[in-house]
Structure 1
Amino acid sequence: MSGAPFHTDLPRNPKESITFMLVIAVISVNTIPVVIGGLTSGFTLAMWTGLLQVMPALLVAVVAVVLLTMKPAQPLTSRLVRPGDSFRAHMVLHALCSVLLISLLMTVVGTWTGARQISTEPLEQFAHLWPRNCTIAFLIEALLA
């Protein structure tokens, strides 16, 4: 062991990073859209089977958006935490910043993917959709983490 605090070594290698991201993405894609879809159109078998059909595309979209938002989340997090803050503070704020950025993009991309079409609807409804989507995503991610 290098003597450095354990948290400075997370993730310890690219394989762990990829594995963690995929596990969280698969769980997220199987929970977040179900809750959002259920609140939007009702928790029905038809809603769930419709989501099952687009889940592979949603998984690809989530992984792409996570990769796209990784770098911007780091400076955002470092603006909110200080070097002496606890590991828990760093992790919670990094998760919050990541979920915030991911939810901004997935509110639009997820709607397009679920509807199987690109439209202006998620942009027009953004102020209404995003706060709910971000809250749901953060609560689910908080339970996962």
Structure 2
Amino acid sequence: MEFYMKLPRNKKEMTIFIAIISVISVYIIAPLITCFEIGFNITVWGEAMRVVPFIWISVIIVVLLTHKPADWLTGKIIKKEDSFNAHIIVNTLCTVFLMSILLTIIGTWIGVGKITMEPIYNFFYKWPRNFAIAFAVEIFIAQPIARFVMKKMHEVQEKVVQNEC
């Protein structure tokens, strides 16, 4: 029942679900990582917010590229009969794992405004922190909010159907 109520059922709902998660994630993760890189002050935060729209576009592209590999990886780790929470946590873990690999490099390029080898040279120093931040934001903030919105949408849809009958 939780799968049915808390997850998207069609492409329109999937678009809403991805939009909610990606907007929340980008507006929290990008400034946080930038502040860890440069320093926690209002100027750094402002600079991070300036590039957020470009990061958001790259996040959407990376979500679309990593969705199927993350689902495949999730299927290798978890069984179909495992709990809803187990599926959500493992899928989030796999998705964030793949996305954080790409976005550790792409996000740096967007943030500094040029393509350099720096994020590749420093990948193994920066990726674990970026992964931890992204996973925490996804599992504790973005995903729960998006699932709550889906649940409320489905409850409203069910009430409309019941009223029509």
CA distance in 2, matches of 1:54, 1:117: 13
1:71 counterpart residue number = 68
Corresponding residue to 1:40 among 17, 22, 37:
37
* CA offset digits 1:16-44 (Å, max 9, x no partner): 10111111111111100111111111111
- What secondary structure does 2:54 align onto? helix
Equivalences for residues 1-145 of structure 1 within 5 A: 5=1, 7=3, 10-144=7-141, 145=143
How many residues are treated as equivalent by the alignment?
141
Shift of 1:92: 0.9
Shift of 1:6: 5.1
Report the TM-score, using the length of structure 2 for normalisation. 0.82
Point out the more displaced range, 29-38 or 104-113: 29-38
* CA offset digits 1:42-86 (Å, max 9, x no partner): 111111111121111011011111111001001100010012211
Contact kept? 2:109, 2:115, Cα under 8 Å: yes
Contact kept? 2:31, 2:49, Cα under 8 Å: no
Which runs of 5 or more residues in structure 1 are unaligned? none
Which runs of 5 or more residues in structure 2 are unaligned? 144-165
* Pair member with larger Rg: 2
Greater helix proportion:
2
CA distance in 2, matches of 1:8, 1:76: 22
Aligned CA RMSD, in angstroms, stands at 1.3
Report the TM-score, using the length of structure 1 for normalisation. 0.92
